[in-house]
Each structure stands twice: as structure tokens, then as C-alpha cells.
Amino acid sequence: MPIDTILERVRDGQGSGADFQALEAWLAGDRMGGDLYDVISNYLWHAPQPRFELVEPFLALRSDPMVVAATVSGLATRGYDASGFVDAVVAFAAGEPWDKGNDLRTAAILALPKVAARDDRTRAVLIDSAKYGTPSVQDCAWIAAQQILGMPAKDVIWGKTEGDLVNRVSPEVRAWLGQ
């Protein structure tokens, strides 16, 4: 069965055990058709018990920051905490020269509250990102800071446009980010 058909079922919430096994086989090396980003993101978001060891290697895929971003986001959402993952997320959040569009950086910043909220390096990365990042990087830093400071998800302020958050967050968040 074509991988795109399997992905469609998985996205629609109709994925079966056989579908997830097919995605696992695809991730393990039997890649016939399909898009790596699409497979990783849907597998990590929808598999009942994803096999993290199948996606871990993609954290090192420097040729495709979007795939690394999907891997970081999915693993963080699933509560992945293997040795080295927090270090990788913090490094990605600080920025990588090969992440030209900041896709990985923004995904990593948004993953920080889930995997590194109490890591001493997190605040420094967020302060730097809020001050010197692109507008989208800055917005992600503000959102992550709100989450780390315990703001319920329903109350987190999201920007309507890039750079929109800087004047709309609480004084507590602004102070925590040194603004």
C-alpha cells in the first residue's frame, strides 16, 4: 500500500496497527515514496506507542532542518527524555548555522517548556532569542517564557502577526526575559 494512503488514514484518526507498523518499517529504512517530514510528524503525533529509536537518528539530519524540527517537536510532545535530548533541544533553540529559515530554532524554543523548563541554560537562550532573534524567534521566546512561568495554555498570548507579542505579555514575563 502506498505510504501516502497510510498517512491519510493516520491523519484522519483511522490508522490501524498495520498502518503504524508500515510507518515503522518505512522509518527503519524501507522508504518507498512519501515525505520524511510527513511520516515523522504523523508517526510521532498519532502512533499509540511510538518507537523513539526509529526517529532519534533524524535529530542529526543537518541537510533538512524541517525534518529535525518535526522530530524535536514530536519527541518533546511525547515526553521523550533520553540522554542528550535536552542538550540537543537547548542547542537547537540557541540557533544552528545550517537552520537558515529558523524552522528548527522556533520548534526547539517551543519545545523548551516541555523538556528543559528548569534547565539553567533555558532562560539564557530565551533572553537572547527575545532580544536578538527574528520576529518569529522572538514570538516563540515570549510564548515559551509564558509557559515556563506557569501560565495555563488557554491563557498564553499568541501573536496575530510576527513580532506582535512584545507589547502584549505580562510584566512578570517581561521581567523574566530582562525586557
**Confidence (pLDDT) at 174:** 83
Domain count, the chain: 1
**Confidence (pLDDT) at 101:** 95
Q: Is residue 23 part of a domain?
A: yes
Q: Is residue 86 part of a domain?
A: no
Q: Is residue 165 part of a domain?
A: no
- Is residue 90 within 8 A of residue 117, CB to CB? The reply is no
**Confidence (pLDDT) at 83:** 82
Domain extent at residue 40: 1-54
**Confidence (pLDDT) at 173:** 84
Round to whole Å and give the CA distance between 173 and 179: 9
**Confidence (pLDDT) at 128:** 97
**Confidence (pLDDT) at 29:** 87
**Confidence (pLDDT) at 168:** 66
Round to whole Å and give the CA distance between 17 and 9: 12
**Confidence (pLDDT) at 151:** 81
Round to whole Å and give the CA distance between 135 and 130: 9
Going from the first residue of the chain to its last (179 residues), give the mean pLDDT of each consecutive group of 10, the final group possibly shorter. 92 95 90 81 96 95 94 96 92 97 97 93 96 90 91 67 63 86
Residues 66, 48, 82, 54: is their CA dihedral positive or negative?
negative
Q: Is residue 122 part of a domain?
A: no
pTM over 0.85: yes
Round to whole Å and give the CA distance between 71 and 65: 10
**Confidence (pLDDT) at 75:** 97
Q: Is residue 131 part of a domain?
A: no
Q: Is residue 8 part of a domain?
A: yes
**Confidence (pLDDT) at 5:** 94
Q: Is residue 106 part of a domain?
A: no
Q: Is residue 144 part of a domain?
A: no
Q: What is the residue whose three cell numbers read 536578538?
A: 132
